[in-house]
Structure formats: structure tokens, C-alpha cells
Structure 1
Amino acid sequence: MVNVLLIDDDEHLGPPLAQYFERFGLRLAQALTPSDGLARLRAGGFDAAILDVMLPEMDGFALCRTIRKDSDLPILMLTARGEVMDRVVGLELGADDYLPKPFEPRELVARVQTILRRRVAAPTPDAPLRFDGLTLDPVTRSVQRGGEPVELTSTEFDLLHLLARAPGKVFSRDDILAALRGHEAELYTRAVDIVVSRLRKKLEPLDAIKTLRNAGYTLALPRELP
């Protein structure tokens, strides 16, 4: 189970959040002071931290700076004011995301899940790329969907591999053309849409490739956490 530490001096916030987080496979613990939070983080065992900006002993910005001196732990900051400068300062100090108070617990969970996915170690060029329900092996040029092999053409595989190397990044049709031109067919703008359509059908029922209108395509599957 993924372990998350909430550092917030509101003692009534942690228990209900912990119950909610459990529904998503996340174990939430709370520290009421920065000193206690730092001690627990240094002891290890946590996969992410949530910091309130308004804290006793030191504010959340100073706490974030302290954590970043010796850790790249994913950090989300909570700010009561939600001011732009608070967000900018937090991100400049190394926070991965921020969320203004008051917030919906579901949004907090979603943002924590997102920063955890962002911080998954980048794979080596030849390492398999593993996502929720999908695995690509660049060495054997093979794909598995739900553990079952999927037969792809050379162009389909290379398109999927391109998207999978940077999940969440939007690739325009021109980006795809530049990467794949010269493969099994002469690619042109409309052909990109056709290859994407074929690939989507082969990956069903996974909703793997999203279209962003007037922008391009992106792989929308979450990476598997180690």
C-alpha cells in the first residue's frame, strides 16, 4: 500500500481523510508539527507528503525547502488562500503540485495519485513500459493487453511506443509524422488519424489513446507503480 504523510496542525482533518484515502489503496498518516513530520519522513516508509502552508514552528514553504535538501519525495502543498504567489513560491521550492483549501477529498486523492505517477522512475530505453493493463517491450517489439498478446503492425507499434515514452504528453500530427515517416506506408496527416483509429480498436477495451481537439493525441493510461 502507498503511504502518504499529511503535515497539518488541524487534528480534525487527518482521521476522515485517512478513511477516504483507504478506499483508493492509500494509507494516510498525520503529523501535527513540522518537526514531527520531518522526523517521520527521515525514518522512511513514505511515498508522498502533503504540506499545509500555515503551520507552527515553520511555514509550509520552509518545510518544503527543508525536505528538498535531501529528498525528491513527491510533495503536494495545501494553501488556505489559494493565491497565485503561494502557488508560484511552492512550485519554485520544489513542490510537485498545490491545492487550495477548502478542497474536495476526491480531488486531493486524484492529485496525489498524479504526482506519484509523475515520479515513477524513468525507464531505461530498452526496459518494458508498463501501464495499467498494457505492457510494451521495445526489445521484442511486443505488446500485451491484460496479459494477452496484441498483434500490431510496425507503424502501429512505433506510434504506441512514441506515446508511451511520454505518457500524458500531447503529440501533434506533425510530431507523429516526423517520428514515423518512412515506415510501412507513406504517412500523411490523414493517415495518422487512420493509424490511431486502428490502434485504438486493437487496444480495446482499454481507453488508452485520448484525442485533444486541435492539439493531437496522448497516452492516457497510468503507469504501474513499482
Structure 2
Amino acid sequence: MPRCWVNRIKLDFRGRRDMSGVTTIIIARDDLSVPGVTRKPTGGGLQAAEDRNLFDVLDERVPDVLVLDCRGPTRNGLPAIEKIRERTSVPLLVICEADDPLQGKYLMNGATDCLQSPFDILIFNSMLQDIVQRSRQGHDDALNRLLPMSFSGINFDPRDNSLQYGANVLKLTTSESRLIVHFARKPGLICSRQELSEVLYGDRRPVSDRAIDAIIVRLRKKLGDVSNGTADGLIKTEFRLGYMFTSRVDDVMPV
């Protein structure tokens, strides 16, 4: 992996409408350190490159894609992804070993895609193209869901993936937040597992029913935890069909 914290890559988007320009990526380790960071000058020359915390770097610049290197022996990828998803919804590409047994869980916990090592730079470039394309196509939709909403006494704010019930506040992962938004648009209607898979990963990603079920289990637990148990039944299982959101949903108007 390059020892630089920001890579500006000219991607070849020929034949893809509105997909030109330079893409900025940040490469981090699974301990949330970013290697080889050169600080911006503050009156003098550039400071020597050093390792820095990922979130300090994100405070200075928001990338188009965040790359997380999970090939180290510590296997800290899952907690790293959860912490990242609590802070940002930037597309996340995970680099992992081909035999890493946690690849499915990386996706379930909020990774956009996984790239197995060793890999060809052309494949890396192609995956970046696809991730950026999907992100830009979903930009307008992301803006449309910024309005906070309320259901069963819970206030949900998609801008920071937070649930609030009285004094209780709890953060969702990006995947959990996307499911809440989708359910909120279709209260009382059955959402199939395939439909929910497409919401999270697009129509080209095959995701098992077990993966979707695992995210629903986590989401149910968080809804119950934040509401002291009053929202345990908000997501109802419809046998062999999918899931249904059972609450009325209201917009929360800004004060």
C-alpha cells in the first residue's frame, strides 16, 4: 500500500456519463492510523511525514473513498469499521487477505466492498470507479433523506445516524441507518430480503438472507435498547416473505 494519507487518482471514466475528474482517497490501517501523513504548511515548510489518527485526518479533508487495510495480524477490521461508520458515511473499501473469514462481516458492518490481496492495480482502479459512480448516483437520494423523523417516540436523525428516546441517544451504523430510512418510506408494507439487500449493496451484489437477518437483529436490539424496550416490535418478521415496519412515521420539523 502507498505510504501516503491522501492519494489523488485520475480515474478513467470514459463511457460513463458525469464521471470525470480526480478522486481523493485516504488509506488507513485497521488500528485507525494513517501512515505517512505530511501536514499542510503553517507558515514554514512541510513537516516530516508521520502516522496520525484517521479521525484527525478526516477533520481536515473528506475523501471520495476511504480504504481500510485489514491485512494485519491483529484482525481489528470489525471494530474499526464500526467506529468509522459512527462518524462518516464515506464509501469504504476494505483490503483483506483472500482467506480472511471476516469478509462477510465487513460488508454487514458497513464496508462498501472488499478487495482481496494480492490484487492487480487495474482491478483496484475498476473497483474505485464503481464505488465512486454508485456514490455520486446516490447523492441526490442522500440529500432527500436528511430530514429527521419520528416513530414510536423515537427521533431518528439520518444526518448523524442517531436514535434518540428521551435522554437516551444511540448511534446506528450506515447500513442500519439505510434500512431505517427504507422502512420509514414503506410503513406497513412487507420488504423482502432481496429488496433490503439491494438497498444496502446494489442490485449487483449477492447477499445471503443470513447477512440481512443479522443486520435486522442488530437494528432491533438498538431500537429496543434506546427505547427501554418499548420499540421491540417495530420490525416484524413475515415468515418467508421479509420484514415489515409497523409504526407510523412523522417528519420532525426543525425548531
TM-score tier by shorter-chain length is 0.3 to 0.5
User: As a proportion of its length, which structure holds more strand?
Assistant: 2
TM-score, normalization by structure 2 = 0.37
* Higher Rg: 1
TM-score, normalization by structure 1 = 0.41
